[in-house]
Amino acid sequence: MIRYGLLGFGHHCVERLAPAFPAASGSALAGLWRRDQEKAAANAREYSIASFATAEELCASPEIDAVFVTSPDALHLPYVLLALAHGKPVLCEKPLGMNAGEVEQMLAAAQKAGLPLGVAQNFRYNRSLDVIRAWIAEGRIGKPALAHSQFCYPAQGSPRQWIYDPALACGGPIGDVGIHCIDALRYVLDSRVSAVNTLARTDGESGPVEAYATIGLDFTDGAMGAVTVSTRGAYRSLVEVTGEMGAIVSPFGLTVEGDVDVELWLDGKVAERKTVSNADGYTRMLDSFSDWVEGRGEFRATAADGLHNQQVLDAAYASWRTGQRQTLPGK
């Protein structure tokens, strides 16, 4: 059983992460630290776990086996390095860093310490994406040609107000949910990205960060992709892949609540429909990381792979700012 300490305990932890632990077979929530000590004490009482006075105290505790960094983006680097320095494996929220240079620092520290470092790309543990990935690998739609993922949600009134602060957030919806979409397409296609083009715009509420964006992607397997994201649209989390013989569509493929349909389209009609639940995605992610820490398997979202995602993010923002297509480094 791996005992986790969470660095940061905001809205996402309360809504998604903490509820995932009770169903886990090899992972337990053991402690937390957050800057607001009064809120931390209340959280600790609610979940019957330890509350630590400082981040370093949590990382140093013998009662904590692994650290889960759930703080705002700009704090990932110092907290990951702190946990590694105390000999703790680290699972870190996405995006892993503010830029690829930060991720390279994390990877160097993890390699030097000989410790696992993973990214909380929980959608790699969505059963809907497993179905899409399997159908593609089985050749159900032939060679993939086009891939699209869309994640929209209305951010007005969100308790995560730091996502509009460029000093704390990697960006707007590109960094917040676009990273999920990019990773989801990479996962189902089992591919990497070779080039990026971005269109984006801000609005009065988003300030200097984007509120809408469309990202064009060239994949190394020959497919072309599009990621469309907004913090102003009605909620949607589409994943679809079109191949030479058919298409796979999941209108809410990145949704973690309720049943999710995955449809195989052939000859203009639904040839097969599979309904799954992604409700256990966070739990599966936690147990997979715990297994990796204990040497019993591979984690699907290592930080080494996460470096490529961060390079895609860097390229997406560079393309928006310069208006130029960005080519990514090879393997």
Q: What is the pLDDT of residue 122?
A: 97
Strand pairing of 2-7 and 27-33?
parallel
Q: Give the residue from 238, 239, 235 showing the smallest Cα distance to 186.
A: 239
Q: Are residues 11 and 84 in the same domain?
A: yes
**Letter for the amino acid at 84?**
L
Q: What is the mean pLDDT of the chain?
A: 95
Rounded to an integer, what distance in angstroms lies between the CA atom of residue 261 and that of residue 253?
7
User: Is 285 a domain residue?
Assistant: no
User: Do 84 and 209 have their domain in common?
Assistant: no
The answer to whether position 299 is within a domain reads no
Q: What is the pLDDT of residue 331?
A: 55
Query: What pLDDT is recorded for position 160?
Result: 72
Q: What is the CATH number of the domain that holds 23?
A: 3.40.50.720
The reported pTM is 0.95
- How many structural domains comprise the chain? 2
Q: Looking at 63, 91, 120, which one is the last position of a domain?
A: 120
φ and ψ at residue 182, rounded to 5 degrees: -60, -45
| Residue 296 within a domain | no
CATH of the domain at 249: 3.30.360.10
Q: Which of 59, 91, 120 is the last residue of a domain?
A: 120
Does residue 171 form part of some domain? yes
* Gyration radius of the chain over CA positions: 19
On whether both 93 and 136 belong to a single domain, the answer is no
Q: In angstroms, what CA-CA distances link 281 with 59, 93, 163, 288?
A: 26, 15, 24, 10
Instruction: Flag whether 257 is in a domain.
Output: yes
Number of H helices, E strands in the chain: 11, 15
Give pLDDT tens digits for 131-150: 999 999 999 999 999 999 99
Q: Are residues 251 and 152 in the same domain?
A: yes
The answer to whether residues 177 and 317 belong to one domain is: yes
The predicted structure's pLDDT at residue 205: 83
User: How is residue 17 annotated by DSSP?
Assistant: I
Asked if 37 and 51 sit in the same domain, the reply is yes
Residue 295 lies in a domain: no
Domain closes at, from 87, 105, 120: 120
Question: Do 134 and 52 belong together in one domain?
Answer: no
DSSP letter at 73 equals G
Using pLDDT thresholds of 50, 70 and 90, give the confidence band for residue 322: very high
Beta carbons of 256 and 281 less than 8 angstroms apart: yes
Q: What is the average per-residue pLDDT within 283-307?
A: 97
pLDDT for residue 155: 82
Same domain (yes/no): 34, 155: no
pLDDT tens across 172-197, in order? 999 999 999 999 999 999 999 999 99
Domain-embedded: residue 38: yes
Residues 112 and 149 in one domain: no
What is the extent of the structural domain holding 10?
Answer: 2-120
**Residues 83 and 193 reside in one and the same domain:** no
- Cβ atoms of 155 and 163 closer than 8 Å: yes
Instruction: Report the pLDDT value the prediction gives residue 295, as an integer from 0 to 100.
Output: 95
In a domain, 304, yes or no: no
If asked whether residues 201 and 131 sit together in one domain, one would say yes
Return the higher-pLDDT residue of 14 and 107.
Answer: 107
- Lowest mean pLDDT across 185-189, 231-235, 241-245: 231-235
